[in-house]
Amino acid sequence: MIPVYRPFLGKKEKEYVLEAVESSWISSKGKFLNLFEEKFAEYVEAKYGVATCNGTTSLHLTLLALDIGNGDEVIVPTFTYIASVNAISYVGAKPVFVDSNPDCWNIEPSLIEKKITPKTRAIMVVHLYGHPADMDPILKIAEKHNLAVIEDAAESHGALYKGRKVGTIGTIGSFSFFGNKVITTGEGGMVVTNDKELAERCDHFKGQGVSSKKTYWHDVIGYNYRMTNIEAAIGLAQLEKIKETLKLKRKIAEEYTKRLKDIPGIKCQGEEKWAKNVFWMYSILVPPSERDALMFYLKENDIETRPFFYPAHILPPYKEKRGKYPNAELLGASGINLPSFPELTTEEIETITGKIKEFFQRK
């Protein structure tokens, strides 16, 4: 079976984990945690990084830090991974959905303004599948209406919007280091920001809301959202080779696009003029009537794939009428993530694309 994803681990990860274990600093303090926060923040061009136990908790912290809660509204694309939307619900705020752009698959800026009400506090932008969202018009709207901009960059480590790293273009950003993300710590996440006060608030909420001046004095309802030093050890090793990882991912994308772009019915993942895509998951769109059959065909041929996310407004907790977000619904029904792990070989890509061609020629 060719899997959709496999972490890209090497000697360094082992070496650092061993060092963490031998030092006995295996819990949520230690050298690797400090280094990973510092170096990752530096990599995404942020002043502060706050490591967490996963990318959902780091999103939750961004909302807590911004003091968003009951009665507030947060604008978010309906076409996203469910964690973006759930984090908004965790603080008691209401997710307000916006449709997607059919080309870059991210939130459509021109549809945001009509969703703003006096209760709106923030726009949560999600940079999906490695491709940045179009930030400039979003920043402009946010400024006009005095809204925070949260970036969910869980799928886009290192992606560039007009030359700037995503995650630090808005007010506050969040990354995930789950096993299949661009870099991984097993489970993990990080909040990044240039705002010292927001970073301190994230730290505070992440560590049970304990006062920095008085032991066991908890001045807010906090959480235990800490990352361990062992996880950070893996993260640091991963970060040290992120350039190589991204190079491999671009090469994989080129090899796929070269072989798939001329097949009628297939639309390959692209790259806007203003964007540098990191191709987290190489993805294609096919006619919805063919999608599941193609995935099944590939599975029969030992090739694992994933369908795109269901838009949140289709899922039971957030159910709204169908048809209000046509682009998101079409994307959700058309998309397939192909195997995209960094060590995927050109021969494997040849096999996968060969089977896709075969599928479309069978009929």
Ligand X SMILES: *Cc1c(COP(=O)(O)O)cnc(C)c1O
Q: Could you list the residues that contact ligand X (CB under 6 A)?
A: 54-56, 80-81, 83-84, 126, 152, 154-155, 176, 178, 189
Task: Give 4 or 126: the residue with its C-beta nearer to ligand X.
Answer: 126
Task: Give 41 or 124: the residue with its C-beta nearer to ligand X.
Answer: 124
Residue 198 is inside which H or E element, if any? helix 196-206
Task: Give 54 or 62: the residue with its C-beta nearer to ligand X.
Answer: 54
Closest approach, Cβ 68 to ligand X, in A, equals 17
Closest Cα to residue 101, out of 125, 74, 123, 73?
125
DSSP 11-67: HHHHHHHHHHHHHT--SS-SHHHHHHHHHHHHHTT-SEEEEESSHHHHHHHHHHHTT
Taking each helix axis from N to C end, the angle separating 229-240 and 11-23, rounded to the nearest 10 degrees, works out to 150
Task: Give 127 or 259: the residue with its C-beta nearer to ligand X.
Answer: 127
Asked whether 174 and 181 are in contact (CB, 8 A), the reply is no
Closest approach, Cβ 290 to ligand X, in A, equals 25
Could you give the 3-state DSSP secondary structure of residue 164?
strand
Closest approach, Cβ 180 to ligand X, in A, equals 8
Task: Give 337 or 353: the residue with its C-beta nearer to ligand X.
Answer: 337
Closest approach, Cβ 203 to ligand X, in A, equals 19
Place of tokens 């994989």: 252
Structure tokens at 312: 């949140």
Task: Give 63 or 349: the residue with its C-beta nearer to ligand X.
Answer: 63
Nearest residue to ligand X by CB is: 55
Please give the Cα distance from 352 to 346 (Å, whole number): 10
Closest approach, Cβ 311 to ligand X, in A, equals 13
